[in-house]
Structure 1
Amino acid sequence: MPPVTEEELRDFVRVAVTDDGSDGQTAPLVVDEFVVGTEGRIDLALVGDALIGYELKSDLDTLRRLPQQMSSYSKVFDFCTLVVTDRHLGGARRALDPRWGLAVVRREAGKLTYKQIRKARPLRRTDAVALAGLLWRDEALHALDLLGAAAGLRSKPRDVLWERLAQVASQDELRAIVVRALTARQGWRDVQARREYDETFQYAGASSRFLARRFRPQYR
């Protein structure tokens, strides 16, 4: 049986975990390769009523980086789930943070199936500066303006804005600011273009590099 590759795993999980909006709620924003500051890039993120992250491990991956990834992603997401193939299921059970969810994708009779092993629980370890770091510089400055805390900061680098925002906003306020900015964001750029933009204009543009799109799956 052929291995489950990263691409087909991502495509399948994206559909499996995304609500179709049939309950009357707005479909979440689905972000591929969601960058978390300078610490990592989680495979899938859902931005809606909660910030939900999914890290994927295909047959061709390893669990070597999982401890570091769990530490980084738990700083900003409300819930996280690791999705693995059978190859990694045993190792994932032993290594996984008890608050992370776990799911397995299998190839059965030529088709992929998704089985949830355990549900994700609230992480409750949000790092305010890391959460603020999901904002582009202009978004962070706008948020500080609304809070009346932008004085003297307009020419400062983005990390100074993030730290100030983390100081003046409560955790609930900051989370709402980030969710609102992400869902309203226009003109998403590809990863390479955003990287070049950030390296060239340190104060001008964006804090994070994303591939994003709204995705409303059609279940079969």
Structure 2
Amino acid sequence: MHDRDVRAAVLNWLGDVHAGDADTRVVQEMGIWAGSVRVDIAVINGELCGFELKSERDTLERLPAQAELYNQVFDRVTLVIAERHATKAAGIIPDWWGVSLACGSAAKGVSLDHERQPARNPVSQPIQIARLLWRAEALVVLDRHALSRGYRSRPVGILVQRLAAELPVDVLRDEVRAALKARQGWLGDTPTQQRKMPVHANLHPVE
């Protein structure tokens, strides 16, 4: 079972769950921490949910560091993992993460066993949520809340600090999700490389 097999199973499941929901966007390899780290799949709608995938061929070496970073950004996180990793992973991720087991094989097909549903994140950090915004997006939000005076020429790091300090966290979350759902030119790549797709589009695994 390869990453692409697990990814295809998750994308197909998300496509079924959110079929016809124009308010939901599914993004693959979404950057967090100013783009320095990428989560395998993100779902953006009334919440920002991350999905980290670990196939049989993966190791859990990076999972502790990934968990620490994801905990600061996402409203909910689900670990989708091959059965052989399940016991070890349970000692790494927090209790509020969801857990889905990826079972089967590429030849026979991969199915998902949703063992634990994710709970709401109790430890997210406003500054890391704000850092999901590009500079132009941050300026739009500052303008909307009359916070841009004296800041329009400042670097993006200063802009997101102001947003995190001045906006109630629920308002900040709403603004960030709205910007992410409307974003074009994700990752600055060509359309076939952007790895972005609304769930109502045809979902195919990334090779």
Distance 1:159 1:192, change over 3 A: farther
1: CA distance, partners of 2:42 / 2:187: 16
Contact 2:45 2:177 in 1 (8 A): yes
Shift, 1:216, TM fit: 2.0
Distance 1:27 1:16, change over 3 A: farther
Alignment of 1:1-220 (within 5 A): 4-21=1-18, 25-26=21-22, 28-38=24-34, 40-107=37-104, 110-190=108-188, 211-216=195-200
> Counterpart of 2:123 in 1: which secondary structure?
coil
Amino acid at match of 1:181: A
Query: Could you tell me which residue of structure 2 aligns to residue 207 of structure 1?
Result: none
> What TM-score do the two structures reach when normalised by structure 2?
0.87
Gaps of 5+ in 1: 194-209
Query: Could you tell me which residue of structure 2 aligns to residue 197 of structure 1?
Result: none
2: CA distance, partners of 1:192 / 1:6: 23
Distance 1:177 1:77, change over 3 A: same
Distance 1:120 1:138, change over 3 A: same
For residues 133-175 of structure 1, the C-alpha deviation after alignment (integer angstroms, 9 at most, x for no partner) is: 1111000011101111111111111111000111111001100
| Identical counterparts, % of pairs | 33
Gaps of 5+ in 2: none
Contact 2:14 2:199 in 1 (8 A): no
> Counterpart of 1:30 in 2: which secondary structure?
strand
2: CA distance, partners of 1:218 / 1:191: 20
Amino acid at match of 1:50: E
> Counterpart of 1:95 in 2: which secondary structure?
coil
> What TM-score do the two structures reach when normalised by structure 1?
0.82
> Counterpart of 1:153 in 2: which secondary structure?
coil
Shift, 1:93, TM fit: 1.9
1: CA distance, partners of 2:164 / 2:170: 11
Contact 1:37 1:130 in 2 (8 A): yes
2: CA distance, partners of 1:8 / 1:130: 31
2: CA distance, partners of 1:190 / 1:10: 22
For residues 88-119 of structure 1, the C-alpha deviation after alignment (integer angstroms, 9 at most, x for no partner) is: 11211222211101111111681211101111
Per chain length, whose mean CA-contact separation is higher, i.e. which structure has more relative contact order (CA < 8 Å, sep 6+)? 2
Contact 1:102 1:119 in 2 (8 A): yes
Distance 1:57 1:122, change over 3 A: same
